[in-house]
Amino acid sequence: MAQAVGSAMRQIRKNRGESIVDVAKATHTSPASFTKWENDQTVPSERSIRKLAEYYNIDPLELLALAYPDKYAPLQAEKLEEAKIKTIRVEDIFDNDTVLSYNDKPLSATAKAMISAFISGMIVNRAE
């Protein structure tokens, strides 16, 4: 399972539109090391993963659990269970069968469409 950490790191970097050199410079890592990590030739140290997570502004457990599953996957599962995270797909929110409400009052179809357009715009702009 440790092989998945390189793919995850590549996906995060590409979603942010950054090059390996950009991230390497920002995290004081060599581009060669970063390339090896992304190609699953080597696994980054816990310290390097924590630096990357700080740079990407993500929970380090997300990457640590991929790189070191025996040590961190149980901690991540425990943390998720404690938080009782409920995942909702954004596109499901705007499904025709979904009723959005505010202060216990259903929103009109127009308000729902406006919210959908606003959120879609935010997501698209963030991806760029």
Domains of the chain: 4-83 (1.10.260.40), 90-127 (no CATH)
Q: Residue 67 in contact with residue 2, Cβ under 8 Å?
A: yes
pTM: 0.57
What is the torsion angle, in degrees rounded to the nearest 10, for the CA atoms of residue 36, residue 37, residue 42 and residue 46?
A: 140
* Per-residue tens of pLDDT for the chain, all 128 residues: 344 889 889 999 998 999 999 999 999 999 999 999 999 899 999 999 999 999 998 888 888 888 888 888 787 777 767 666 667 777 777 777 888 888 889 888 888 888 888 888 888 766 55
Give the separation between CA 54 and CA 42, rounded to whole angstroms: 20
- Amino acid identity of residue 28, one-letter, is H
- Amino acid identity of residue 85, one-letter, is I
